[in-house]
Amino acid sequence: MHPSANTFFSSFYPIFSVVFLFLLLSFFLTFFELNSMIKYIQSIYFIPDGQSYHAALLT
């Protein structure tokens, strides 16, 4: 590896790690928000869970 590329990577490594952690955190936050929102909608409209809902659709 080039020494210049090595210093470039080491100088930008903290930024990359922070961005990666931020993306990971935002992904988990949106996932849990979606999960709770789906549960909230299910509690409003009394939609059963997926399997029984599909079984009710099939019958």
CA distance linking residue 10 with residue 23, whole number of Å:
20
Q: How confident is the model at residue 12 (pLDDT cuts 50, 70, 90)?
A: confident
Residue type, 50: G
For residue 59, the surrounding DSSP H or E stretch is: none
Q: Which whole number is the average pLDDT over 25-43?
A: 83
Task: Output the pTM of the full model.
Answer: 0.41
CA distance linking residue 2 with residue 10, whole number of Å:
12
Task: Give the pLDDT score at 23.
Answer: 92
Is the pLDDT at 55 greater than 60, yes or no?
no
Q: Which whole number is the average pLDDT over 7-13?
A: 76
Higher pLDDT, 45 or 55: 45
